[in-house]
């Protein structure tokens, strides 16, 4: 395919709440522009951008994907994004690669949870945005109510540039408020239309809407405003210039109308994008980690990876946005983040999962490269001698964790490689081996997120695992001191075993872990047996006495003992030390410790009372509250055991509008009324060891 000039490129990120029709809109655009020969349907599993097996099965978008449409000399890159909370980060990253956001709003539901959250990202990134009120053919569709919800949520900068003709089963076309022309679409899914007279019953409404639009456009320029007040209208050229400027400055968010599934209004969306969306050359300098960069095809290369796809057969594919310079095939480039060289073989455009070779990528272009060694999502590619890089992408911190257990030895051998490939695609997914519980912990943005990874492990990589709630890493410690004497003596007919020690055990401050010291006097115990005593205690403390958890924050002092010239050995002193440890621990007022998490909950104001009550009911200690845009942040310290199912509760209370993150803070003593239950569960699970046999 020929190289496309930067001024003719339009990059759109289609975002919005789930089920607003993003994938259907792309399908209709591709069909109308001749990129595909049939109108793909989500319910039939044959769309270009929802090609993953899980997406086809569940009929929802789960990951960002790229397609493109050619309209005369213009190329429109379309990034389809998920609309559900667990995968919303994909939409935010897609916004980094687009000059324009297209925010879809359901004509029946109006503004929904993820619409609000994603608009915050648009505002933070200062991205131009177009609103599209979609699904106008649905029963109970109402453009005016949906539009009112947009204005209520996002302000009066949202202004219609189109108005629907009919709604529900009667929706058949639109009035273009810019040209003051009306169009009626056919019902045959081909997206064909004809120009008609503006319906008489809409005449007054159209006049009012047109006046509001032109006034909004005029507000962007003093000269236009003066002319508008004097003459009451603007020329088509002035309207175009003023509207483009308003969109670029985010002082105008144009509102369009369609029913993508029926292919009504989609051709006018494409036309609007070509005429009014901006190329990368028009959006100004791009923010870098340090300073800014002006897009220039003759400048030094600056490109970043905004999406990674990992396939068990074709390998890793990096999707790249070029911001400056020129990216060409068969070249060597520098990964600034990793400080390594990358060999780029072929470049290709993506049409969903289909690839088409590209000769060169200029500023604004989106292309893909296969099998880069070290490059990951968020990395910057440039040429030798350049150090400028794009800002680091802040991925969300995982909100929920599960333990996963391979079902067979073969699965266990393959799981590490499979998880590595999945994590290349999804940087928000974390996996680690818990050093205490020995469990493999998989952490994600929600239960659905982790469940889908488990499903992908099986279907895509042939790794079958069982998903369980993770064990809480409790610890054991002491509150008092103990002074014990232990003598270990065993005679078996030949050489016997003998060891005799006296130790003192006392608590350390929280976080003190373990200290071993010896204050032996004279030759009561030869120095060569002291390491065996320490080893016996260190091994024993890894499996505590109360509930089988590691013992921490204590000190042991070996201060006396005796030995036998023949029967004493390292093994005898190690066993003796283990027994002494257990005896001292039981006498030193043992107790359980639990991990306390630092939790931040983002919630709408009206849900604050319920969230505060829920956290307090989970033994949380509220540390403070603050405003964050339209939401509030509640900070608290909460025991980890109380947070394992918090994600479900938060979703229920806030209707999906809340989110949270947490990180480890410290350990605290478990209240006595809860310790008995934990000990009973540990005994039942077999975590508490029986008294060791002397021969072990």
CB 334 within 8 Å of CB 317: no
- Mean pLDDT in residue range 226-253: 93
**Residue 133: which residues within 8 A CB-CB, separation 6 or more?**
105, 106, 107, 143, 146, 147, 150, 255, 256, 257, 258
Q: In whole angstroms, give the CA distance from residue 149 to residue 670.
A: 48
H-helix or E-strand containing 12?
strand 9-15
pLDDT score for 689: 61
Task: Give per-residue pLDDT as tens, 520-541.
Answer: 988 789 999 999 999 999 999 9
Task: Give per-residue pLDDT as tens, 89-134.
Answer: 999 999 999 999 999 999 999 998 789 889 999 999 999 999 999 9
If one counts every other C-beta atom within 10 angstroms of the C-beta of residue 416, the result is: 12
266-271 long-range contacts (CB < 8 A, ≥24 apart) are 266/25, 266/28, 266/29, 266/32, 266/191, 267/32, 267/191, 267/193, 268/162, 268/174, 268/176, 268/183, 268/193, 269/25, 269/29, 269/132, 270/29, 270/32, 270/33, 270/69, 270/71, 270/76
Structure tokens at 84: 């559900």
> How many helices, marked H, and strands, marked E, lie in the chain?
16, 34
Q: In whole angstroms, give the CA distance from residue 257 to residue 272.
A: 11
Structure tokens at 108: 């029946």
| Entry pTM | 0.80
Q: How confident is the model at residue 315 (pLDDT cuts 50, 70, 90)?
A: confident
Q: In whole angstroms, give the CA distance from residue 88 to residue 81.
A: 8
Closest by Cα among 576, 565, 570 to 500: 576
Which DSSP letter does residue 76 get? E
Half-sphere exposure (Cβ direction) of 248: Cα atoms closer than 13 Å: 18
If one counts every other C-beta atom within 10 angstroms of the C-beta of residue 620, the result is: 23
Q: How confident is the model at residue 378 (pLDDT cuts 50, 70, 90)?
A: very high
Return the CA Rg of the chain.
Answer: 33
Task: Give per-residue pLDDT as tens, 326-369.
Answer: 999 999 999 999 999 999 999 999 999 999 999 999 999 999 99
- CA 688: distance to chain centroid? 38
Q: In whole angstroms, give the CA distance from residue 62 to residue 446.
A: 13
Evaluate if residue 692 carries a pLDDT over 50: no
- CA 152: distance to chain centroid? 28
Structure tokens at 466: 């069982």
Tokens 């667990």, residue?
A: 86
Task: Give per-residue pLDDT as tens, 257-266.
Answer: 999 999 999 9
Q: In whole angstroms, give the CA distance from residue 466 to residue 403.
A: 8
Over 602-644, what HEC string results? Answer: EEEHHHHHHHHHHHHHCCCEEEEEEEECCEEEEEEEEEHHHCC
CB 79 within 8 Å of CB 56: no
DSSP line for 404-460: EEESSHHHHHHHHHHHHHHHHH-TT-EEEE-TTT-PEEEEESSHHHHHHHHHHHHHH
Q: Kindly state the percentage of the chain with pLDDT values over 70.
A: 98
DSSP line for 87-113: GHHHHHHHHHH-SEEEEEEETTTBS-H
**Main-chain dihedrals φ then ψ at residue 515, nearest 5 degrees:** -125, 130
Domains of the chain: 6-199+249-283 (3.40.50.300), 287-382 (2.40.30.10), 400-461 (3.30.70.870), 476-588 (3.30.230.10), 592-682 (3.30.70.240)
Q: In whole angstroms, give the CA distance from residue 459 to residue 466.
A: 14
Q: Classify burial at 295, counting beta carbons within 10 Å of its beta carbon; exposed 0-12, middle 13-18, buried 19 or more.
A: buried
* Terminal Cα-to-Cα distance of the chain (whole angstroms): 73
CA 648, 654, 659, 665: dihedral to nearest 10 degrees?
-70
Tokens 């009120």, residue?
A: 133
SS3 472: coil
Region label for 476, one of left (φ > 0), alpha (ψ between -120 and 50) or beta (otherwise): beta
Task: Give per-residue pLDDT as tens, 637-685.
Answer: 999 899 988 988 998 999 888 888 777 889 999 999 999 999 988 888 7
Which DSSP letter does residue 52 get? S
Closest by Cα among 459, 500, 519 to 62: 459
Task: Give per-residue pLDDT as tens, 156-209.
Answer: 999 999 999 999 999 999 999 999 999 999 988 999 999 999 999 999 999 999
pLDDT score for 660: 82
Structure tokens at 456: 């992908």
Q: How confident is the model at residue 695 (pLDDT cuts 50, 70, 90)?
A: very low
């Amino acid at each position: 395919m020929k190289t496309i000039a930067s001024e003719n490129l339009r990059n759109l990120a289609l975002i919005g709440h789930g089920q607003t029709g993003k994938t259907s809109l792309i399908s209709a655009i591709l069909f109308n522009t001749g990129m595909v020969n049939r109108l793909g349907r989500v319910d039939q599993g044959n769309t270009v951008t929802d090609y993953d097996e899980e997406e086809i099965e569940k009929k929802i978008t789960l990951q960002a994907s790229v397609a493109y449409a050619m309209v005369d000399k213009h190329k429109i890159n379309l990034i389809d994004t998920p609309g559900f909370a667990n995968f919303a980060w994909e939409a935010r990253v897609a916004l980094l690669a687009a000059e324009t956001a297209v925010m879809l709003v359901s004509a029946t539901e109006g503004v929904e949870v993820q619409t609000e959250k994603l608009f915050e990202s648009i505002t933070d990134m200062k991205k131009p945005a177009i609103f599209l009120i979609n699904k106008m053919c649905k029963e109970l569709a109402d453009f005016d109510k949906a539009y009112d919800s947009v204005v209520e949520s996002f302000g009066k900068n949202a202004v219609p540039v189109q108005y629907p003709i009919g709604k529900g089963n009667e929706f058949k076309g639109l009035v273009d408020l810019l040209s003051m022309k009306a169009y009626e679409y056919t019902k045959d899914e081909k997206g064909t239309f004809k120009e008609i007279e503006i319906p008489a019953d809409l005449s007054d409404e159209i006049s009012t809407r047109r006046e509001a639009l032109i006034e909004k456009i005029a507000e962007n320029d003093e000269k236009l405003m003066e002319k508008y007040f004097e003459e009451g209208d603007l020329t088509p050229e002035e309207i175009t210039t003023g509207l483009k400027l308003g969109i670029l400055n985010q002082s105008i968010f144009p509102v369009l109308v369609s029913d993508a599934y029926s292919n009504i209004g989609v051709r006018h969306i494409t036309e609007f994008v070509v005429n009014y969306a901006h190329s990368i050359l028009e959006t100004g300098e791009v923010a870098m980690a340090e300073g800014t960069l002006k897009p220039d095809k003759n400048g030094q290369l600056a490109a970043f990876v905004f999406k990674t796809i990992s396939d068990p057969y074709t390998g890793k594919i990096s999707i790249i946005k070029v911001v400056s310079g020129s990216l060409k095939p068969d070249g060597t480039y520098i990964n600034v983040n990793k400080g390594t060289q990358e060999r780029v073989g072929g470049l290709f455009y993506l049409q969903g999962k289909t690839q088409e070779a590209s000769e060169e990528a200029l500023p604004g272009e989106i292309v893909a490269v296969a099998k880069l060694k070290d490059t990951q999502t968020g990395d910057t590619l440039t040429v030798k001698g350049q150090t400028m890089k794009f800002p680091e992408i802040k991925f969300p911190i995982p909100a929920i964790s599960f333990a996963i257990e391979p079902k067979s030895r073969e699965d266990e051998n393959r799981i590490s490689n499979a998880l590595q490939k999945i994590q290349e695609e999804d940087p928000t997914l974390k996996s680690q081996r818990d050093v205490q519980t020995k469990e493999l912990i998989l952490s994600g943005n929600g239960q659905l997120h982790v469940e889908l990874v488990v499903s992908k492990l099986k279907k895509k990589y042939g790794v079958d695992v069982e998903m369980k709630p993770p064990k809480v890493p409790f610890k054991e410690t002491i509150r008092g001191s103990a002074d014990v004497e232990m003598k270990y003596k065993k005679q078996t007919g030949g050489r016997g075993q003998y060891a005799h020690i006296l130790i003192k055990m006392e608590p350390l401050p929280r976080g003190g872990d373990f200290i071993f010291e010896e204050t032996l006097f004279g030759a009561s115990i030869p120095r060569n047996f002291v390491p065996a005593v320490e080893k016996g205690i260190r091994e024993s403390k890894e499996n505590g006495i109360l509930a089988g958890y590691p013992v921490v924050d204590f000190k042991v002092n070996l201060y006396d003992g005796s030995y036998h010239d023949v029967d004493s050995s390292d093994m005898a002193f190690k066993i003796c030390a283990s027994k002494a440890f257990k005896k001292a621990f039981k006498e030193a007022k043992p107790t359980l410790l639990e991990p306390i998490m630092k939790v931040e909950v983002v919630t709408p104001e009206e849900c604050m009372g319920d969230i505060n009550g829920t956290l307090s009911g989970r033994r949380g200690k509220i540390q403070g509250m603050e405003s964050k845009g339209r939401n509030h942040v509640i900070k608290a310290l909460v025991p980890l055991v109380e947070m394992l199912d918090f994600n479900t509760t938060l979703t229920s209370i806030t209707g999906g509008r809340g989110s949270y993150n947490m990180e480890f803070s410290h350990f605290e003593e478990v209240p006595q009324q809860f310790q008995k239950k934990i000990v009973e569960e540990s005994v039942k699970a077999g975590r508490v060891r029986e008294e060791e046999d002397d021969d072990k």
